[in-house]
Structure 1
Amino acid sequence: MFIQLSAGSFYAWAIFNNGFMLKTGGVVKMVNGAKKIVGGLPAASVSFTFTLGMLCLSLATLAGIPLAKKYGIKIVNTIAAIIYGLSILGLTMIGKGSSIWTLWLFGGVLLGAMNGVLYLTSLTNAIKWFPEKKGLISGICVACYGLGSFVFKYIAMWVAGGNGVINASNIGRVLLWWGILALVLAVVGSLLLKDAPEVVAAPSAAEAKSENVNFSTSEMLHTPQAYMIFFCLMTACMFMGLLGAAVTNMAAAWTQSPKDVSIWAGSSAAAFFVAVVAIANTIGRFVMGWLSDITGRKPVFFITFIIQLLTLLALLMTKPGDMSMGMIYTVVMAMAFCFGGNITVFPTFVSDYFGLRDTSRNYSVIYQGFGIGAILVGFLMASGNPLNPGKVTLANGAVLTQNFPLLYKVLLVMVIISLVIFAVIKKPVKKA
C-alpha cells in the first residue's frame, strides 16, 4: 500500500503544468483581451511529459516482472523506489533556459519507468498471494494507487502556501517535498515486500467450474483475444492520459470564457479537479473490483464503457465555455470512476482468460496498451507534434495548443469498437 500511494502521486501531474511553464520563463500577459502565459515551454509539450511517462511506465513492466522473479521483488522494488524519488528531485533543476528534453527525461522517462516497476510488480505479487480474491485484492492495491494523487494534491497545496497555486516561486519547494515523501514511502514499502509462492492456493470454485487453462505468453499472443483485450485496455487508458495530463485545461476550456481559460487552468479552483479525479478513480477501483467478483468482468466493462461513451457525447455536444461546473464535475468524475474500475478489472480479466500461472508476464504484455494509449493521447492533443504543437481555435474562439475536439472524436470511435469487442469476445480454447 505504501508503494502504491507513492507511485500514484504521479497522477497529480496536471497541477504542475502552469508551474513549469512559468518556471521556464513564461509570464502572464494580456493577448487580444485574454490573459495568457507567454513564453516558457508550451502547454501541450509540458502535459506530454505525463503521457511519455505513461508509455515508459508500461514498457518498464516488461523488464520489471522478469527482474523481480530473478532477483526478488524486494531488491528490484527498492532500487526502483530510490530512482523514482531521485527523478522527482531532479525536476527541481528545471528553470529558465531548460530544454523540454530535460523535463521529459526526469518527469517522463525515469519517473514513468520506475513507476511502472513499482506499480505492476507489487500488484501482481499481491494477486498471487490471494488468488481466490483476485478482484478484491486488485481493487485494494490500485485504489491506494489512485489515492496517491489525492493525498499528494493537498500536501502540494499546503507546501505551496497562499491559495495553493503552484507557480514559478514555489514549484521547487513542492517538488522537493514530493520527492522526499515519495522516496520514503516507496523504499519503506519495498523493504516490507515478500515474494509470493509459485505454488498458489487452490483455485476458486468459479475457476474450477470454468476449467481455467494456463496460457504461456507465447501461446497467449497466438490468440485473437489477446489483441482484442489489448485494444480495449488502450482505449480505457486514454481517458487517464487525458485526465492526468490536462484535466485542469479541459475543465477551463469547457466552462470558462476565452479570455479566462489560460489563467483559470492554473488556479486553485482548477487544481481541485485533480482531487476529484483521484477520489472518483479510487472509488471506481474499490466498487468495480468488488462488483467484478460478483457479476463477472464483462458486465463491469459494459457499464464503464457505456458511461465513457456518454461523457464523450456530452463534451462533443456542448460548446466550449458553455458547460456548467456541475456538468464538468459529473463528466470528469464519471471518466475517472470508469478508468479506476477498468484498470482494476483488466488484470483479473487477463488471468480469467489466460490462467493465473503466467499472469504477471501475460498482463505486462497486454499492459503495453496503457503506454501506447497515453502516447496516442499526447500526439492527438498536440495535433501530431508535441515538440511544436499547433494552435487550435475552439468553437467559442478560445485558442489552445491542446486539440481536445480531435481527441474526443477518436476516443468516441474507439469506445464503440471496444463495446463491440466485449459483446463478441469469448475465452480462448487452448490447442492440444
Structure 2
Amino acid sequence: MEFLQFKNLLFEKAKITGFDECEIYFSDGESISISVYEGEVEKYNLAKSFGLSFRGKINNKMGYSYTEILDEAAIDMLVNSAKSSANLIENDDETFIYVGDKTYSEVKTYSKELEDIDPGKMIDLALDLEKEAKNYSEKVVNINGCKISYSSSNYGIYNTKGLELNNKGNILTSYVVPVVQDESGKNDGVGYVVASSLDEVKPREMAAQGVEEALSKLGGKSIPSGNYKTIIYNEAMVQLLETFAGTFSGDAAQKGLSLLKGKEGQMIASPIVTIVDDPLMEGGLASAPFDDESVATFTKELVYEGKLNTLLHNLKTAHKQGVKSTGNGFKASYASSVSVSESNLYLRKGEKSFENLMSDIGEGVIITDLAGLHSGANTVSGDFSLAAKGFYVENGKKTFPVEQITLAGNYFDLLKNIVDLGNDLKFPMSNVGSPSVIVTGLSIAGK
C-alpha cells in the first residue's frame, strides 16, 4: 500500500474508533558497512529498514503502537493496540499532539555528494586504509578494526491537525585501530573521519592519526598519588560530558535524578564555561530542523558564563514546569516513546592552543583516556572514579606517557573548577564535543 493512502486510511479508522487526534512518525533508511582484515573484506553488510509508529489520544490518554508493514491488517493492529495501551495508562500526565510551529530552520543534514555511493570505492578505501596503517611503522603488529560505513535516512511526522514534516540525512564514517608493540608492551590508537563525501576519507592521514596516537602511548608508567595540575584532553572531556549529559534533562530533574533541579538562574559552573545544545549545526551527528514531536529546534545556551539558563524539555516536561519545549523530544527509534535528550551538545571553546595550556600548567598531567564510565560514574551525585591514561608534563612539554592511574572527582565540582579552555573543540565521532580544559580539584591515585 502507498504511504499516503495508508496514512489517510489509518487516520480515518482511528477517528471512527474514538481517537480525538493522532499522529504517525515514520523512518525509512539504508546502510552499508564494510570491514576489512588482512587485505580482504571480512564483513559486508547492506541493510534497509522501515518503521512507522502511531500514537493517538483517546479519553485523554495517549496510546502507542508501531509496525514495519503497510497494509490493511496493520491499520487495524495499530489502532487496536494504541487503544489498548491507552487504557492501561494510570497516571494523569497531560500528553500532546503538537499542532506545529509557523517556521522551521533550514539545517544541512544531507550531502548530495554521497548520493548513489559506490560500494566498490568504499571497499577500495577501506583496504587502502588498512594497508597504510600497517605500512606506517614497523611497530604496527595488528589492526584491531578497519571499517567504513554509510547510512541514510528519511523520516517524517504527519498528524490529524494538518502537520506534514519530512527531513532526510546521510553520513559517511570510517575508522582504523592500529596496534603497535615494542619492548615496553602494546598500545592502540584510532584514526577516524566523519565525512560528507568519499574524497574526505584520506587513508594516509587517518593511518597517521591512529598509529601516531598508539606510538605516543608506548612506555607508559604510573605516577605517585597526589593532586596535580591537570589538563583534560578534548576527547576525554567529551567522555565526561556524554556520561553526564542526562543531568540537563528536564525529565530527570522532575524525577529527582538530576542535581540541577530548580537551579535555573544559578551559577553551576565556572564563569568561563558555556555549554551549548545546537541542533542546527551543519554536519552535526544529531542535527535536525524539528524534534520527534514536531517542535521546531533551535540553538540554546544551557549554561552561559557559568549560569544555568535552562534544562532540556519535551512537550510533557515543559508543560509540567510551565515553560516552552526546547525541541528536545526525541525517540531512540520509531518504535520508542518520546524522551528528552540532547542534540549536538558541546562546551564552547576558548582561545588558547593546546601548547599554551601545557605551558600554563608547567608541570602536571594530561588525561587523554578514561575507562569504566558505566560503572565508575554516578550520574545522579556526579561522583566518578575512573581508570585513566595520559601524559606527564614538565616545563610545559609532554615528557612520558602515564598509565595505571585512577582519576577521581565530582562532575559538578569539575564544571566549577575549570580555569582555562583550549581552542581545540572536537566531536570525536560523537554528537558531543569539547575543547581541552585545565581543571583543579581532581585527585589522581597511582603507585
Same fold (TM over 0.5): no
- TM-score by length of structure 2 reads 0.28
Q: Which one scores higher on RCO, CA 8 angstroms, separation ≥ 6? A: 1
Per the normalisation by structure 1, the TM-score is 0.28
Q: Which has the larger radius of gyration?
A: 2
Which protein has the bigger strand share?
2
